[in-house]
Amino acid sequence: MSEIVKTQAIVLRKIDFGETSRIAQFYTEDYGKLSAIIKGARSPKSKIGSLVDTMNLLQLVLYKKETREVQLVSQVDLLKHFSGIRDNYEKYISASAIIELLSNMILENEHSKKLFAGTVRIFTLLDSTDDNPKILFAKYFLFFLKEIGYEFQLRHCNVCGKDINCKRPVSYNYETGLMCDECRKDRLTNYDFSEELLNLLLCLNTKQNNILCKEEDLNVIIKMLEKFLSYHIHEFKGLKSLKLN
């Protein structure tokens, strides 16, 4: 038997279904990622079809049944359209990469209120501030990795436990993690960090948003995070959205 539930949701993607309906994939506050059908969404008379658009933040009312793979949307209210993202190409690329992470890396019905809140916050910042969109995305990427169980340890050597000295060479190994100058000598190195690059990574892991950095350094960090995720989750093949930039 279905139950009527209400939850906030971000629209991840949508596809046409049948002659008049659509199926959308949502990331919801209370139920994680799920798919639901909006009957008659493509009809000109539909009041909710146009609201179910990728990146929109909605209030959903669903007829939800645990044994059903595709739920049924009963009612939709628009909470945020994020027009500032849609009107800026760089912001749109970063937001699309976030959508891609959620759509591809989160399992169905696996929910985290903290991840949902963090996603809404980063969309709001992308939408309403002039902060560098790529910096906001890199910060979100680190947050996302932590929330799915792959947190970067940045303050201590992952081999000996000593505090990392930013003035000395530091390396990264996908399996071991961050390594100090001594421990790196006898282990495979995937990345060598300059002092500037390591400081950027440390800044990205704080609440500071107005970070000054070189574009190429930021690109190195994001590419490293992509390779880190693909090392731990083989199904992950990189973010297609970022290749549009």
Q: What is the DSSP string of 165-212?
A: -TTS-EEEETTTEEE-TTGGGGS--SEEE-HHHHHHHHHHTSS-----
pTM over 0.85: yes
Q: Using CA atoms, how far apart are residues 213 and 195, in angstroms rounded to an integer?
A: 13
pLDDT of residue 46: 81
Give the residue extent of every domain in the chain.
Answer: 3-80, 83-244
Greater pLDDT, 48 or 89: 89
Helix count (H) and strand count (E) of the chain?
6, 8
Question: 122-134, pLDDT tens digit by residue?
Answer: 999 999 999 999 9
**Is 245 a residue whose pLDDT tops 70?**
no
Q: Considering only CA atoms, which of 233, 8, 245 is closest in space to residue 104?
A: 233
Average pLDDT over all residues of the chain: 91
Question: 67-117, pLDDT tens digit by residue?
Answer: 899 999 999 999 999 999 999 999 999 999 999 999 999 988 888 999 999
**Is 9 a residue whose pLDDT tops 70?**
yes
Q: How confident is the model at residue 154 (pLDDT cuts 50, 70, 90)?
A: confident
Once rounded to an integer, what is the mean pLDDT over residues 147-174? 86
pLDDT of residue 119: 98
**The CATH number, out of the four listed (3.40.50.970, 1.20.1440.120, 3.40.50.280, 3.40.50.1220), of the domain defined by the range 83-244:** 1.20.1440.120
| Number of neighbours of residue 102 by Cβ within 10 angstroms | 21
CATH superfamily of this structure's domain 3-80: Nucleic acid-binding proteins (2.40.50.140)
Share of the chain above pLDDT 70, in %: 99
Question: 188-226, pLDDT tens digit by residue?
Answer: 888 888 888 888 988 898 887 778 888 999 999 999 999
